[in-house]
Structure 1
Amino acid sequence: MKESAVCASNREFFSDEYVAKAMSSAADLVYPAGNTGDFLLNVLTVLILVGPAYLANTGAMLFGKWIPDKVGFSNHKIDAGRVHSDGNRILGDGKSWEGLFGGAVFSALLMMLAHFFWKGNSAESARPFIDPLVLADSTDWFWLGNEWIAAFILGFTLGFACMLGDMAGSFVKRRQGHKREGEVSSKAPLLDTLPFAIFIFIAAVLLFRDQVLMHEDFTSSIFAIIIFTPIIHRSFNMLGYKLGLKSVPY
């Protein structure tokens, strides 16, 4: 019974009309005239640059659920169990303070690792493995003391934006009556995925406009990644479910 519900949910996601429309129109929206290989390389480059922020949700799962379950302490729900006027929880049990800040710290640590491995790599010569701080220096607002603190703040800020986007999507879903029940998804795949991606890039535009992630060559690649984020996100979740790393495929 549960397996059939999961399969039905997966089929629904991949057959949703929005997926077909997104895939058919993506080329018109984001594909620039020119070298296909260069465009795909830029997409991969941006995906690697923004990877630490995209993985904030993994950190949230570790610090908000997995670690608390292992050590035997309860996490602290952001909505504290409060119910909205529509009768539904404001955010639900899946959103905790430990997950919010744990996800941001996880992104910060990954950004520091990216800087460590690819230090000095430029967009002109080292794609797709570019140093996220290659254009940063001591005059930038987030450079507080040294490069490692700068990398931490960059990752923490984008990771925190990811978590805020995830919460915003959860809030809207619950106002519309979409709630995850057991192994059946909320049936709102766009709200499960797009908000966190959009919030990340909004934060990047507002706070890190002069950094390599906002390089003019990557504009079309950013739009491509946003469009395909729902498919990428669901695919990784399904893989994690198949490997036994997740209890649900969403």
Structure 2
Amino acid sequence: MVFDLVAVAFWVMLPAYVPNNIAVLAGGGAPIDGGRTMGGRRLLGDGKTWRGTAVGTLGGVALAQLLNYVEPVVADAIGVPVPAFPLAAAVGLALGAMLGDVGASFVKRRTGRKRGAAFPVVDQLDFVVGALACAALFAPGWFLATFTLPVVAVVVVLTPVLHVATNGIAYVLGLKDEPY
């Protein structure tokens, strides 16, 4: 039962887990805020770019389509039925993850935090909130059938652990300037 919940939660969140990582690799270019400020601080900062957001979103959608392709094999191998991703759900999860991260960047700037500064809990769950909100908006039937309360609970517990672990690995590999 616990394995099933963790497997489903991880599976359905993969299209949301991956976009920000892809954005880091493909980022650069014009910042979303265009250099604008509010109260003497940048709206978002140079780390939130149009290219990173677009490529991250497309990467998450592409991953969801790949997962749809391998779903029968994976479900058979692990013995747990995992859901397929309708296109609207894939877009909602991937775009929502990116928008959640952008929203957190806005909040970070308003609270005086610099780019890359730690913001516990928000750093770990910003993209989850965005992904779940957009998935619910873009594919409500799929969302309600997929994100049951136990699955959401596992996502909320699992995500911070994965976030800390993957950021630590990225830091060690020199892909991030800070380990959080």
TM-score higher than 0.5: yes
> Aligned match of 2:35 in 66, 81, 96?
81
1:242 paired residue number: 172
Going from structure 1 to structure 2, the CA distance change for 1:171 and 1:52 (only over 3 Å counts) comes to same
> Aligned match of 2:3 in 40, 48, 55?
40
Tell me the C-alpha RMSD between the 2 structures: 2.5
Residue 53 (str. 1) matches residue 5 (str. 2): no
Q: How does 1:175-214 map onto structure 2 within 5 Å?
A: 175-180=110-115, 185-211=116-142, 214=144
1:219 paired residue number: 149
- CA distance, structure 2, for counterparts of residue 214 and residue 43 of structure 1: 17
Paired residues of 2:96 and 2:135 also in contact (CA < 8 A): no
- CA distance, structure 2, for counterparts of residue 78 and residue 217 of structure 1: 31
Paired residues of 2:31 and 2:49 also in contact (CA < 8 A): yes
Q: Percent identity?
A: 31
- CA distance, structure 2, for counterparts of residue 115 and residue 163 of structure 1: 21
In the alignment, structure 2 segments of 5+ residues that lack a partner are none
- CA distance, structure 2, for counterparts of residue 127 and residue 166 of structure 1: 31
What one-letter code is carried by the residue in structure 1 that aligns with 2:124?
T
- CA distance, structure 2, for counterparts of residue 42 and residue 235 of structure 1: 20
Give, in angstroms, the shift of residue 64 of structure 1: 1.1
- CA distance, structure 2, for counterparts of residue 187 and residue 216 of structure 1: 31
Is 160-169 or 229-238 further displaced after alignment? 229-238
More helix by percentage: 2
Give, in angstroms, the shift of residue 40 of structure 1: 3.3
1:132 paired residue number: 84
Higher Cα radius of gyration: 1
Question: What is the aligned length?
Answer: 179
- CA distance, structure 1, for counterparts of residue 79 and residue 136 of structure 2: 23
- CA distance, structure 1, for counterparts of residue 146 and residue 67 of structure 2: 21
Which secondary structure state, in structure 1, belongs to the residue aligned with residue 174 of structure 2? coil
- CA distance, structure 1, for counterparts of residue 128 and residue 113 of structure 2: 20
In the alignment, structure 1 segments of 5+ residues that lack a partner are 1-37, 66-74, 134-149
Give, in angstroms, the shift of residue 202 of structure 1: 1.7
What one-letter code is carried by the residue in structure 1 that aligns with 2:132?
F
- CA distance, structure 1, for counterparts of residue 6 and residue 178 of structure 2: 29
1:109 paired residue number: 62
- CA distance, structure 2, for counterparts of residue 199 and residue 177 of structure 1: 22
Paired residues of 1:42 and 1:221 also in contact (CA < 8 A): yes
What one-letter code is carried by the residue in structure 2 that aligns with 1:245?
L
Which secondary structure state, in structure 1, belongs to the residue aligned with residue 52 of structure 2? helix
Give, in angstroms, the shift of residue 120 of structure 1: 8.9
Paired residues of 1:91 and 1:170 also in contact (CA < 8 A): yes
